[in-house]
Amino acid sequence: MNYKTNEQLKNWTTLRIGGPASRFYEPQTIEEIRAVLLENRQAGAPLMILGNGSNVLFEDEGYEGWIVHLGEEFSGIEERENGMVRVLAGTENGELAHYLARHGLKGFEFASGIPGTVGGAVIMNAGAYDGEYKDILVRVGYLDENGELHEEDASNLDLSYRHSWFTDNFGVVVYADLQFEEADPEAVHARIQELHDKRHSKQPMDKASAGSTFKRPVNGYASALIHECGLQGTNVGDAMVSTKHAGFLINDGECTCKEFLELVSLVQKEVKAQKGVDLELEVRFVPHKG
């Protein structure tokens, strides 16, 4: 299958950070993904699946391995019956939310503003505004490292806060079956708009970021702790703690991975020192060598 070389990963992540990938694939079908997996087994190179790149941090040196991008070219929505929808992994949450609203189905409004793909959201059990993927996910189809297709019920996927079976095990999510309820399309559209306005009033949506940099600690919120430590506006080069939302570390220009990581550790040290809390990265750091 065709691939690009030296594709700059900063162009494929919302943080706008990351050097070149050795190979960059954009498969359009399950068969093509399978072919890449099989070829990769032979080659023995590191491999990573990339969705919309809204929760990843690549190194400035890039990724010495194969990137398999599942985005627009691998998207699609198929309505089944009784409010069940099968969605290909590369479909964006926003696109799916508007499709569901048009078709009078509710239950996905919470995810309408999460700027990732359905595949990435399953992996992360993405959530917002009192909803999470766990609430709507019925089953997934995924390929194992041999390219074999499996179907697994959501109840076996170990879904918890920003965690799934896939965060600890290899599997390429290719589709998800999601369950919704019938509703008035106008009401669903209105809820999406309400959450959109809320998000835009609180989060720096005009800045490059990967959303909340840290996971929610057991007690409290990372953003509140960072705010109380007086860290908003603190910077290392072009990496900065957002002045609009303390939980977002942003790329305020031409930030490097090194600067971003230095700011991460500065924030972690300060929050530990002042509040005694360990902040854990929610953003997934991808080492250069895979």
CB-nearer residue toward ligand FAD: 114 or 159: 114
Report the nearest approach of ligand FAD to the CB of residue 82 (Å).
26
Q: Is 282 a catalytic residue?
A: yes
Closest approach, Cβ 137 to ligand FAD, in A, equals 13
Residue closer to ligand FAD, measured from CB, 48 or 281: 48
* Nearest to 171, CA basis, from 157, 181, 182: 157
- Give the separation between CA 45 and CA 63, rounded to whole angstroms: 11
The least distance separating ligand FAD from the CB of residue 287, rounded to whole angstroms, comes to 12
| Cα–Cα distance, 47 to 166 (Å, whole number) | 14
- Alpha helix (H) ranges present in 113-250? 118-124, 165-168, 185-202, 222-228
With respect to ligand FAD, which residue has the nearer C-beta, 81 or 130? 130
Q: Which backbone phi and psi does 23 adopt, to 5 degrees?
A: -135, 145
Site residues for ligand FAD per CB under 6 A: 14, 48-56, 70, 89, 114-117, 119-121, 123-124, 126-128, 166, 172-173, 203, 205, 209-211, 284
Q: Which is nearer to ligand FAD, 36 or 128 (CB)?
A: 128
Taking the C-alpha atoms of residue 24 and residue 2, their distance in angstroms, rounded to an integer, is 9
Smallest gap from Cβ 119 to ligand FAD, in A, equals 2
Is 22 among the residues known to form the active site? Answer: no
Q: Which of residues 39 and 182 has its CB atom nearest to ligand FAD in the complex?
A: 39
CA atoms of 202 and 227, how far apart (whole Å) = 14
Quick check: 15 and 210 in contact, CB under 8 A? yes
**Annotated catalytic residue, options 92, 109, 132, 282:** 282
Shortest approach of ligand FAD to residue 93 CB, angstroms? 7
CB of 19 to ligand FAD, least distance (A): 17
69 DSSP 8-state letter: E
Nearer to ligand FAD, 166 or 214 (CB): 166
Catalytic one among 112, 164, 212, 223?
212
16, 162, 223, 242: the active-site residue: 162
254: annotated active-site residue: no
Cβ neighbours around 233 below 10 Å, total: 10
Buried (b) or exposed (e) across 17-51, using 16+ Cβ within 10 A? bbbbbbbbbbbeebebbbebbebbeeeeebbbbbb
Q: What is the DSSP letter of 96?
A: H
How far is the C-alpha of 234 from the C-alpha of 6, rounded, in Å? Answer: 33
**Closest C-alpha to 57, from 231, 253, 281:** 281
Cα(221)–Cα(261) distance, integer angstroms: 20
Q: How far apart are CA 250 and CA 204, in angstroms?
A: 8
- Active site residue ranges: 162, 212, 282
